[in-house]
């Protein structure tokens, strides 16, 4: 009975992670693109169901479930960070290309948006006013502590007048860290697959007669 349970448990672990990992990456990527986690669609259910299936498979295999859970959590965190950064880089690059037109913006009413933490300075929210298609548009955005009436140069979407600051550093940093964490996740995946296949072959191998 034990010889039958162990391969079945390993298959449950493999199937669970095969369902959970892409779902976690998809949720993290959408969070990077939309700045919010969308819990609609099948991804959240596949993530939870896959984790539950992998956990039950670990119980059947008889391995140290606590250590396995920590390893799985670390892998999903690394994978999620890489996917979220990829989504953020994609979103900022898309904003860059949809806002080719420079525009002069008047900044007023700067107020502290968030108090400083550690070595970081205050974040200020300022009212931005600019002209689009003969109309005056206003939006409160993050900016430096400018005096009222200060003018800055931003970039505008010629179709709807929305603004972007063309933050090249954000795109480069998100892409670099995303590639690093993505490569780390791929390396961990390769090691996990090799370990899984070795354990599965060992479980399916017929016992050596005495």
Q: Determine the pLDDT at residue 5.
A: 54
Give the model confidence (pLDDT) of 79-119 as tens digits: 888 888 888 888 888 888 888 888 999 999 888 776 555 55
pTM, 2 dp: 0.65
- Which pLDDT score is estimated for 2? 45
100 within 8 A of 155, measured Cβ to Cβ? yes
Q: DSSP letters of the chain?
A: -HHHHHHHHHHHHHHHHHHHHHHHHHHHHHHHHHSS----SSHHHHHHHHHHHHHHHHHHHTS-HHHHHHHHHHHHHHHHHHHHHHHHHHHHHHHHHH--EEEEEEEEEEEEEE---TT---EEEEEEEEEETTEEEEEEEEE--PPTTEEEEEEE-TTT--EE---HHHHHHHHHHHHHHHHHHHHHHHHHHHHHHHHHHHHHSPPPP-
What is residue 1's predicted lDDT score, i.e. its pLDDT?
40
Closest CA to 124 of 112, 106, 115: 112
Residues of the chain with pLDDT under 50: 1-2
- The pLDDT of residue 105 is 93
pLDDT for position 62: 66
**pLDDT value of position 205:** 66
Provide the pLDDT for residue 120. 54
Q: Going by C-beta distance under 8 Å and a sequence separation of 6 or more, which residues neighbour residue 17?
A: 50, 54, 72, 192
């Amino acid at each position: 009975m034990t010889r039958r349970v162990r391969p079945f448990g390993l298959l449950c672990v493999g199937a669970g992670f095969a369902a959970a990992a892409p779902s976690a990456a998809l949720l993290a990527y959408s969070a990077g693109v939309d700045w919010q986690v969308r819990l609609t669609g099948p991804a959240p259910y596949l993530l939870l169901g896959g984790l539950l299936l992998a956990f039950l498979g670990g119980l059947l295999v008889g391995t140290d479930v606590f250590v396995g859970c920590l390893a799985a959590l670390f892998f999903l965190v690394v994978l999620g960070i890489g996917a979220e950064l990829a989504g953020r880089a994609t979103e900022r690059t898309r904003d860059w290309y949809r806002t080719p037109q420079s525009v002069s913006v008047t900044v007023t009413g700067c107020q502290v948006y968030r108090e400083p933490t550690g070595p970081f300075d205050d974040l200020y929210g300022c009212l931005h006013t600019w002209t689009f298609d003969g109309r005056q548009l206003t939006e409160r955005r993050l900016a430096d502590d400018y005096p009222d009436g200060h003018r800055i140069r931003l970039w505008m979407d010629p179709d709807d007048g929305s603004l972007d600051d063309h933050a090249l550093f954000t795109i480069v940093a998100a892409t670099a860290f995303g590639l690093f964490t993505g490569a780390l996740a791929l390396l961990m995946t390769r090691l996990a697959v090799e370990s899984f296949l070795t354990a599965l072959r060992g479980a399916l191998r017929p016992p050596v007669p005495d």
